């Protein structure tokens, strides 16, 4: 081998190393990561401003490295989650016996994901059959696997995540049903009342669900594979009292609407859910994740405020009733108009100037 081919080989080897380990170099920041390694730049889908109401699937491919999120609200929400699991456990956590293996697999996936994605916050150790996960942010350590079956695996999973997690399994009629669920931040329902319900039963109160999406949702769930996770977003409008704390705002088991006859824009909350859908490879069951984001009306960017007003006005009465529009609608629209008026006037003035 002459000196030239040695040099060529060395170059080839160096380019292989560069490509293979590029992401590990300390000065190369991974995509979507915030300064502290969290997901603070991960936002729910903006309100689109649809002209006509329709129940939409609106699903898109999930970027797997953002399956679960950790953001600046982690500690505050973790406290609420711990409180709920301590005082309202039956209401927020239910696992049917047949879901045990699926819940364990979901926990293993959660642990693997968190330790890989946030290695500075979670530490995993395995000793024989038993595994432990240590959460450096809260100081908590959980053991699972082996003989450890005192704490439900799904409970450990949602004590680590910001997401609520549910397991969907197939019943004898080939329909997906809620086999296990840790829904700590529900909207108008509690798991205790709806465990075991099919997707179709769960959505009975939703106007136009059966006419417009039931069949597509069922096809979509059947087609999910472990390598094709998906996500979608949903929003609700919620009213709170001025003195309300985070626990009360997040945990809404009966209604979205607190008694507040004269809400200010800070008391009207846009409650968004980022929902994720994954098929677990070992048990073949589905794991459904829901991350809740809260934004008050006054914090909403102008374009979304205009889009919200457009959508709220487009809802037929029976949809408005389901969403509580009679309680917050007038105040919200008044605020939208006040905020957007100066901008509209400015645009009109600019248009007039152009004409002159
Ligand atoms: C692609 C799948 C899904 C779609 C398109 C969908 C869509 C919706 C929509 C449009 C609503 C009404 C909320 C609103 O806009 O005001 C809703 C409510 C709800 N969804 Fe889903 N959903 C899906 C999956 C699921 C799954 C997997 C669960 C399992 C836990 C679930 C549980 C619920 C519940 C409990 C409600 C509240 C119903 C009520 O008002 O009592 N959804 N969903």
Task: Please give the Cα distance from 10 to 351 (Å, whole number).
Answer: 64
CB half-sphere exposure, 331, CA atoms < 13 A: 20
Judged against a pLDDT cut of 70, whether residue 245 lies above it is answered with yes
State the average pLDDT over residues 169-186: 97
Backbone angles phi, psi at 266, to 5 degrees: -75, -15
Q: How far apart are CA 199 and CA 36, in angstroms?
A: 38
Cβ contact 217:275 at 8 Å: no
Ligand 1 center to residue 72 CA distance, Å?
27
Could you tell me if 132 and 230 are in contact, meaning their C-beta atoms sit under 8 angstroms apart? no
User: Can you give the pTM of this predicted structure?
Assistant: 0.86
234 lines ligand 1 (CB under 6 A): yes
Average pLDDT for 304-315: 94
**pLDDT at residue number 45:** 86
- pLDDT surpassing 70 at residue 24: no
What is the rounded average pLDDT of the residues 275-299?
97
**Best residue among 93, 206, 214, 216 to mutate for probing ligand 1, ranked by most atoms within 8 Å of CB:** 206
The whole-angstrom separation of Cα 71 and Cα 118 is: 11
Query: Residue 300 carries which DSSP code?
Result: S
Residue 203 CA to ligand 1 center (angstroms) comes to 6
Residue 309 has pLDDT above 80, yes or no: yes
Residue 241 makes CB contacts below 8 A (sequence gap 6+) with 248, 258, 259, 260, 267
* Mean pLDDT along residues 319-328: 92
Asked if residues 168 and 285 have their Cβ atoms less than 8 Å apart, the reply is yes
H or E stretch covering 21: helix 3-21
Q: What is the pLDDT of residue 171?
A: 98
């Amino acid at each position: 081998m002459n000196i030239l081919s040695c040099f060529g080989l060395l170059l080839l080897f160096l380019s292989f190393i560069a490509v293979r380990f590029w992401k590990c170099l300390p000065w190369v920041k991974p995509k979507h990561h915030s300064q502290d390694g969290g997901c603070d730049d991960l936002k729910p889908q903006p309100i689109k401003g649809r002209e006509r109401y329709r129940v939409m699937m609106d699903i898109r491919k999930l970027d797997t490295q953002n399956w679960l999120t950790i953001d600046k609200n982690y500690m505050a929400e973790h406290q609420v989650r711990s409180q709920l699991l301590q005082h309202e456990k039956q209401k927020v956590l239910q696992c049917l016996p047949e879901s045990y293996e699926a819940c364990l697999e979901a926990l293993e996936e959660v642990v693997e994901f968190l330790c890989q994605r946030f290695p500075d916050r979670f530490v995993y150790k395995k000793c024989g059959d038993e595994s432990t996960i240590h959460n450096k942010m809260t100081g908590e350590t959980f053991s699972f696997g082996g003989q450890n079956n005192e704490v439900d695996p799904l409970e450990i999973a949602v004590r680590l995540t910001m997401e609520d997690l549910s397991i969907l399994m197939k019943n004898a009629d080939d329909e997906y049903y809620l086999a296990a669920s840790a829904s700590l931040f529900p909207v108008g329902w509690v798991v205790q009342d709806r465990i075991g319900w099919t997707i179709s039963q769960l959505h009975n109160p939703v106007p136009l669900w059966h006419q417009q999406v039931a069949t597509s949702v069922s096809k979509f769930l059947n087609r999910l594979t472990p390598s094709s996770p998906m996500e979608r977003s949903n929003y609700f409008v919620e009213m709170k009292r001025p003195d309300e704390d985070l626990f009360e705002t997040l945990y809404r088991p009966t209604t979205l609407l607190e008694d507040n006859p004269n809400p200010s824009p800070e008391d009207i909350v846009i409650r968004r859910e980022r929902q994720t859908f994954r098929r677990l490879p070992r048990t073949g069951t589905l794991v459904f994740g829901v991350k809740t984001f809260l934004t008050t009306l006054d914090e909403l960017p102008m374009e979304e405020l205009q889009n919200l007003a457009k959508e709220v006005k487009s809802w037929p009465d029976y949809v408005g009733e389901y969403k509580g529009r009679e309680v917050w609608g007038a105040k919200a629209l008044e605020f939208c108009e006040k905020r957007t008026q100066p901008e509209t006037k400015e645009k009109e003035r600019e248009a007039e100037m152009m004409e002159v």
